[in-house]
Amino acid sequence: MAGGIGFGIQVGGNALRVLESAAKAANARLMKVVRKGASRVQRGAKINVKTKLNTTGLSKGTLGRSIGVVARPAHLEAEIGPSVIYGRIHEFGGVIKPVKKKFLSFISTQGDTAGERVFLRSVTIPKRPYLQPALDDAKPAIERDFEGLVKDLLED
């Protein structure tokens, strides 16, 4: 900075090593709480899929089994979500259109056409969230866990 002043701090003895060790321990404890919160959301999402999305009783459970957690300790975060491609459309809804053909083709499971092959230009999938409600349900417990940990860290 032109025309400004600066200053530095010199740390003596093993203070820097002690601070680095404390930061590493705090980071590990924070990540443990992140993982615990992610597991809560994952568990809730799996329950939601099983109880709210399997409306026909024909589900094989693939969506629920595909919900996983990817932890990112360097950023103190975790991502929870399905690995199957159709997980997103169940959460947010949308329109499915054929990509390589003129029509979508499938065996109907509902209504007057149950058991028959159906050809359609598009299918609208209603929004049926399972991840967001799981996060909403887990949020108070996650906040309590973080609050407790932060208090512990500041008291140490």
pLDDT digits (tens, 9 = 90+) for 34-86: 999 999 999 999 999 998 887 666 678 899 999 999 999 999 999 999 999 99
The pLDDT score that the predictor gives to residue 127 is 94
Domain residues for the domain of 32 are 15-84+130-155
The pLDDT score that the predictor gives to residue 137 is 97
The pLDDT score that the predictor gives to residue 56 is 65
Identify whether residues 24 and 98 lie together within a single domain. no
**In a domain? residue 4:** no
Listed as own residue / partner, the contacts of 111-119 with beta carbons closer than 8 Å and 24 or more positions apart are none
Identify whether residues 101 and 137 lie together within a single domain. no
Q: List, as one string, the DSSP characters of the chain.
A: -TT---------TTHHHHHHHHHHHHHHHHHHHHHHHHHHHHHHHHHHIIIII--SS---SHHHHH-EEEEEGGGTEEEEE-SSTTHHHHHH-EEE--SSSSSEEEE--SGGGTTSEEEES-EEEPP--SHHHHHHHHHHHHHHHHHHHHHHHHH-
pLDDT digits (tens, 9 = 90+) for 95-149: 999 999 999 999 988 888 888 999 999 999 999 999 999 999 999 999 999 999 9
Three-state SS sequence of 50-93: HHHHCCCCCCCCHHHHHCEEEEEHHHCEEEEECCCCCHHHHHHC
Identify whether residues 78 and 148 lie together within a single domain. yes
Number of domains comprising the chain: 2
**In a domain? residue 89:** no
**In a domain? residue 9:** no
**In a domain? residue 25:** yes
Dist CA 12 CA 35 (whole Å): 36
Dist CA 41 CA 67 (whole Å): 10
For the segment 18-37, the average pLDDT, to the nearest whole number, is 90
Among residues 26, 42, 32, 37, the alpha carbon closest in space to that of 144 is found at: 37
Dist CA 85 CA 140 (whole Å): 30
Identify whether residues 51 and 106 lie together within a single domain. no
Identify whether residues 66 and 110 lie together within a single domain. no
Question: pTM higher than 0.75 for the full model?
Answer: yes
The pLDDT score that the predictor gives to residue 143 is 95
